[in-house]
Amino acid sequence: MPLIYASALATLLYCLSAYLIFQQLGHSGQQRWYALAPAAVAMLLQAVVLNTLILLPEGLNLGFFTSLSLIIWLISIQILLSSLFLRIESLGVVVFPLSGLANLMASLHFYDHIIITSNQAVQGHIMVSIIAYSLITLGACQASLLAYQDRSIRQHHPGGFIRFLPPLHHMEVLMFQFLGFGFILLSVSLLTGFFYLEDIFAQHLVHKTVLSIIGWVILGVLLFGRIRFGWRGRTAVRWTLSAFAFLMLAYFGSKLVLEFIL
């Protein structure tokens, strides 16, 4: 099956899943798993497309849209797996269609950026970085929902979409789980970058490196504050979104400038 057709089918399945989830919000029972089934199939199709797009004989293709598709695909998988334990499938209403759209854009080859390397250590560093970014992005999504949920409760308007989210405590625990694993992988990414990249502070990498380190420090302070002082609520949300902003500027900001502007 040509990549564009596989991507189009995955996009349709993602949108179908999002629609079914939206229709079943607030309902209990096993029906919600039927809403997630099309997304599971779409993730398999997207995996095939990403494997073909990224793993090339000459190296790794990690252009802007391909990287975006990979990160949102990883986020979609995390939402699906987390839905086995907590009812957070409502996040898929927004994330699943975005995953399909990003995959479709990547398949159209608007811009390919091939990293020519056969060094498995460097390839491993790159993939660990992307997984770390996806976990922290999902943590930032959780933080945004927490802020909205907290504000609605404080204003005594807990209806609407808030009714379909898990309790504040569960949302917060899940957010810190994502951030904790993301911090560990980001630490591994920075450490391996210093060891395996020839010059991590080279001109074309310096902005990415400095912004990533700033994001890593902010995230580390947040997790320390959580463990030592029990930070939560608005404080946790602010620190999470600050770390996310620096890390997204580090990855997608630098890619956008290098690949499309320069």
Residues 112 and 145 in one domain: no
Q: How confident is the model at residue 166 (pLDDT cuts 50, 70, 90)?
A: confident
Domain end point (choices 68, 98, 116): 116
Domain span at 96: 1-116
The number of residues making up the chain comes to 262
> Exposure of 48 by Cβ count < 10 A (0-12 exposed, 13-18 middle, 19+ buried)?
middle
Tell me what percent of the residues of the chain surpass a pLDDT of 90.
Answer: 43
- DSSP lists the bridge partners of residue 55 as 60
Residues 129 and 100 in one domain: no
Q: Give the chain's domain count.
A: 2
The C-alpha torsion from 138 through 42 and 38 to 182, rounded to 10°, is: -20
- DSSP lists the bridge partners of residue 56 as 59
Residues 134 and 103 in one domain: no
Whether 232 and 226 have beta carbons less than 8 Å apart is answered as yes
Question: Could you read off the pLDDT of 238-260 as tens digits, one per residue?
Answer: 999 999 999 988 877 655 555 54
Domain end point (choices 52, 84, 116): 116
Tell me what percent of the residues of the chain surpass a pLDDT of 70.
Answer: 83
Whether 171 and 146 have beta carbons less than 8 Å apart is answered as yes
Distance (Å, whole) CA 33 – CA 31: 5
- pLDDT given at position 230: 92
Is pLDDT of 202 > 60? Answer: no
Question: Could you read off the pLDDT of 51-72 as tens digits, one per residue?
Answer: 999 988 877 888 888 888 999 9
Residues 82 and 133 in one domain: no
Q: How confident is the model at residue 118 (pLDDT cuts 50, 70, 90)?
A: low
Whole-number CA gyration radius for the chain: 19
Q: How confident is the model at residue 102 (pLDDT cuts 50, 70, 90)?
A: very high
Residues 35 and 163 in one domain: no
Whole-model pTM?
Answer: 0.81
Q: How confident is the model at residue 158 (pLDDT cuts 50, 70, 90)?
A: low
Residues 112 and 123 in one domain: no
Task: For the beta carbon of residue 127, count every other beta carbon within 10 angstroms.
Answer: 16
